Structure 1
Amino acid sequence: MPAPQPENAETSRRGFVIYAIGQSVASTGTWMQRLAIGWLAWDLTHSVGWVGAMALTELVAALWVAPSSGVLVDRSNLFRLNLLLQGCAMLVALLLYAFTETGMMTIWLLWALALADATWQGLAQPARMVAVSLLAGPKHMAQAIAVNSIGFNVARSVGPAVAGSIIIYFATPMVFLVNIGAFGTMALVLLVLRPALNRPGAASRGAFLNDVVAGYRYIARTPPVATIFLMVLAFSLLGRPFTELFPAIAGQMLGGGPAMLSLLMSAQGIGALAGGAWMLRRRSIPALARVTYGAGISMALALLGFCIVGHGQIAIALIALAGLGHVMCNIGMQSLAQLFAAREFRGRTMALYGLIFRAGPAAAAALIGGLAEWFGLAPLIGASAVACALCLSAVAFTRRGVFTPERTAPAAPPPRAGDERGGL
């Protein structure tokens, strides 16, 4: 018997709109906090190494959090888990404010708090993704993820600008104080959406390690989900690293400075916003898969063109096109993963997705950066882009017909009386 659908389309849409607004505010706070932590590390030490060490906390946290976070999401009451993690965000911001304002902050304490911040972010990522699937439902999944992507890209631009202004006109501790309010806004949104999110975990409780292994086994043995992860690996390791390499691209390939870096990031951001807007249109599952493959291949070809052109307005336009393809491909892959992953494995599926998406580009960018000393940056980015296009094309050809509506996971049933029991 098929699972019942969410209460009604209007209620589902209204709930997601509220969630998206709260998430945009919280994301702005997250980007504000990242800039403030980096600046505080520089202010305390004047060491580029320590600034890099703060950025490294995200990769460290992703590697050790991802295997457990998916199991935690699948087992837990989603409302309680998200509310708890939002409380952790507020606590970290409060500690950052208190230690900085009182002059007790040290660089090692800042690193520990940055690691704590990255840890709760890693735990929260799959919980947020699954919340989107519950609120939006299968019919509006791609549009919901597109709205989230637009909010994320706006927050990535607005957050650092707001944080910089606060640091200039007030002081660094004030950024952390404002963030408590930003994260608190999301906590209030979760309380409003409690009826929609308050349901027990979908997965049965076994031995924790066995559940982790079961999640990886499920991904490998489920053809649509395995196909998505082949796409994610090609995209993350071969295509997406260009965003991590922007400082080197601006300085070495384009011979510019901070202004050129800002221009590259702006062009990529404009393309990303356009890509998110393009994905707001509702599509059938086969059409969504075709758009996803096409967007990833287009991104790779735009990067290859950029490496060939090498300078001028055409090169900047190609970066914007790469940004458009990058976001469209990500939205498509994430939508397909949520649609085809069974509810009891969705947390583990999205946790691994998040790990590859966060750690893959960082590792690939480090490898390209090291090899660039011998082979040059442009040839390596171009070769990586060609490999990305070839891999995505091979997956599309060998796995054609795998994304059919009949293989999608059933919709989650609506919450029932008593669903608040069980789980976290």
Structure 2
Amino acid sequence: MVSIQFRSTVTSSLITNRMLPPLESYLVRHILCATPDNRDLVNIGMIQNELPAVASILAGSSRKLSINHTVLEEIDFLIMFERNGTAMSSKEYFTHCFLDWDLQLSVHCEVIGFGIVQGILTLSHRYFMKKEGRLVCPIEPLQVPTNLELSVRLIDKLHQFNGSVKLCPLDPQRKVHQLVGCSQPLFNVDRLEEKWPGLIHTWVRFYVDFLGFGSVSIYDNDGTTEPYIGGLVERGILKYYKSWAPTTSMRNLSLNGSPFCSETMMENQCLWQHRGLSEWVMLIHAPDNFLNDFAGAPTLRKYLEAIKNTTSLTLLTTLAFGHPNQSIPQQHSSRLFQAILTRECQPIYSGRHLPIANPRKVMMLFVHVALEPFHDIPVAVNKCPVQVNHYITMFRVRSIHNKIPTDNMLCKDQTLHEKTLSYLPLFN
């Protein structure tokens, strides 16, 4: 068996390097193979403190890295751990599964046919998300072929952790998009479509056909989105994950009062799955969020081009649309931008921005920010000249504040309606 040398400097170099190398310096060679169950993840059983546990490999890649004139290669995985087959959760908006328990693993990575290395496991610092992290298998350059499927065995004998993960080669002639979109967990979509017929088609086609995104990925908790995506998957503009959850217990929680339980896992899987496929990944949240730009998103694209070598994560300002005391009657979703023209004059509070992340540099997201300890990256907040319209009253009368805004705090804004006026037939 060939011995692959261990490189301890890979992780620290990636995190502390403040200037981003050009795209070709982060040459992604493989990503996690698609799975028949349409979850694109792999579960591996294990034992922790004599109790059963599970590791979910949510994504993976092999990459050639050129840092400070040194060429390195690595295989890395986005990984989540859950013990006893049970995740606990709160029922607040930021509903995430509690996975906080002692974890001491020493994982070896065996690239079948090429050798074994000691892995580097780095876990999140979020107090209730400590078991989501990144496993790096650093190797010497030019040891692993770029055109073959790789089988990687992850082993920790002490914890009976032993499973195989397959990485599929990317087509060297593939198109690399500048921008793609990822949803948060969607659920009860049938109710949304009843209020705004055609909403899912309007939302996806707004981002792809109007703004020119390469594609959109929708993560669906309960399968209610499926009846409304006809033609979108076939066109290649939508990747649809039906009833997605990394474990059975998280799926049960998602379906029983904690619909956002797996949100960070979804967002981060989507981020990683677009390594080598897109320069930027935008979290477009739910079908009540629409980027306010012209056709083709020229303002956003110009901004991203200007920051691509200096910034890893940019957070877009969000504006809350809808009068808090007025309900909106049922109508076709193509009329949304002319039906709701009132918004709060001031942006939504500073913690609520929509992120656009560089998947080559950002390892993990937490809803609106980079997740610790992977936060030491250049971040731009409110610097982008385009903003996001969040139509918070689309489905019910509500306000995002404890105190309902008064009329003098509200403004008229029909800019997105004017920008899309000639494109409305697209959405009918």
TM-score (norm 2): 0.25
Higher relative CO (CA 8 A, sep ≥ 6), structure 1 or 2? 1
Structure with more helix by fraction: 1
Structure showing the higher strand proportion among its residues: 2
TM-score, normalised on structure 1? 0.25
